[in-house]
Amino acid sequence: MLTIRDAARVFGLSERAVRLRLDALRPQVDAYLRRGPNGQVIITDAARAMLDRLEALRKTDGLSVNAAAAKVKEELSNGHHDVGQGASTGEVAVLRELVQELRAEVGRLEEENRWLRERLEELQRLALPAPRRRWFWSWLRGK
């Protein structure tokens, strides 16, 4: 469970941006928000999964916050009228899709890492050796 300040650090956003994203996900996210000491908003794991999915859609598809929130709401509803059952099924679907996206990203990064290492080896082979210091220059300068 996270506070809004913690969520802002996790997502690399401002507290205001986290609040705007939570507002965009209302009313679905309301069931997963709690109040802590001094009225702090506590974000449960289910609400964090919704925020994760929203950010993934926003970054990968280039959607606005409101468009990504509408897509997340659509995924969560997914034709279920029972809120409790639909939310848990929606959470599982969101998490599965998030895992698939992360695996694809890891694969892409591994491929990029492999290419960069090959390029580095190629450039190291092409690199010229350090120039040799000519002993007679220092001898001539001394005179």
pLDDT in tens, the chain (143 residues): 889 999 999 989 999 999 999 999 998 888 899 998 888 999 999 999 999 999 998 988 888 999 999 998 888 887 544 444 445 777 888 888 899 999 999 999 999 999 999 999 888 888 877 667 666 666 666 65
Domain that holds residue 90: 2-125
Q: What is the pLDDT of residue 124?
A: 85
User: Does any domain span residue 140?
Assistant: no
**Which ranges of the chain does DSSP label H, i.e. alpha helix?**
4-11, 15-24, 45-61, 65-77, 83-126, 135-142
User: Does any domain span residue 134?
Assistant: no
User: Does any domain span residue 138?
Assistant: no
Q: How far is CA 1 from CA 33, 46, 48, in A?
A: 10, 9, 8
| Beta bridge partner(s), residue 3 | 42
User: Does any domain span residue 115?
Assistant: yes
Q: What is the pLDDT of residue 94?
A: 85
pTM for this predicted structure: 0.53
Q: What is the pLDDT of residue 80?
A: 44
Q: Residue 87, Cβ neighbours under 10 Å: how many? A: 19
User: Does any domain span residue 74?
Assistant: yes
User: Does any domain span residue 130?
Assistant: no
User: Does any domain span residue 46?
Assistant: yes
User: Does any domain span residue 82?
Assistant: yes
- The phi and psi torsions of 88 (rounded to 5 degrees) equal -70, -40
Q: For the domain that residue 88 is a member of, what is the CATH number?
A: 1.10.1660
What's the number of domains the chain is made of? 1
